[in-house]
Amino acid sequence: MIWRLSHRAAPDAVQIADRHYNRQKPGTPQFVPPGRCFVLVSLDGLALWVTSWPFARFVKHRWPGAWVNSLFRREGGAMRASAMIKEAVAATRWRWPSVPDLGMVSFIDADKVKHKRDPGRCYIRAGFEYDGETVGGLVAVRMKPESMPDPCPPVGAELSLFGDERKDEGR
């Protein structure tokens, strides 16, 4: 596992988030949308992953209830982005064992990522599939539950001897 637990206002994570194209207010201490979130930073400090789990009733896109990879930024390192994505999904499954029916979705602004013949290629290599576009024109990629890797805890996760203490799923 190359990911360690972090949080929505960790200073090292804020620095990486400030360089991501979807950052709305660089410099502010929090960089995650409101609601349930799971934040990971790579062990080498060169990558950041955020899984958000917005409540379906507040979602305005066509994937209500799905986990949303709201931020992935890789600034170097030896591991391929697709392998990092797989491990982040595995860690998300460890955090929230009940996978939503729609799985996980991510949105890519093709105009703001390095030009490639197919935006989101690293997601496709990780097991996501193209799933259309948003109303605003973002490319949507989605990983179905049956395509997800097995759960795996990130570095720094506390494992309970007395049962599962991860209680916030579905609320």
Range of the domain at 19: 3-147
d(CA 37, CA 69): 10
**pLDDT tier at 166, thresholds 50, 70, 90:** low
Q: Are 2 and 80 in contact (CB under 8 A)?
A: no
What is the distance, to the nearest Å, from the Cα of residue 84 to the centroid of all Cα atoms in its chain? 10
d(CA 132, CA 151): 27
Residue range 119-129, pLDDT digits in tens: 889 999 999 99
Asked if the structure places residue 156 within a domain, the reply is: no
* Number of domains making up the chain: 1
Asked if the structure places residue 159 within a domain, the reply is: no
Q: Rounded mean pLDDT of the chain?
A: 87
Asked if the structure places residue 84 within a domain, the reply is: yes
State the pLDDT at residue 47: 96
Phi, psi of 15, deg, nearest 5: -60, -40
CATH number at residue 76: 3.40.630.30
Mean local confidence (pLDDT), 106-114: 83
Is the pTM here over 0.95, yes or no?
no
Phi, psi of 53, deg, nearest 5: -130, 80
What is the distance, to the nearest Å, from the Cα of residue 69 to the centroid of all Cα atoms in its chain? 3
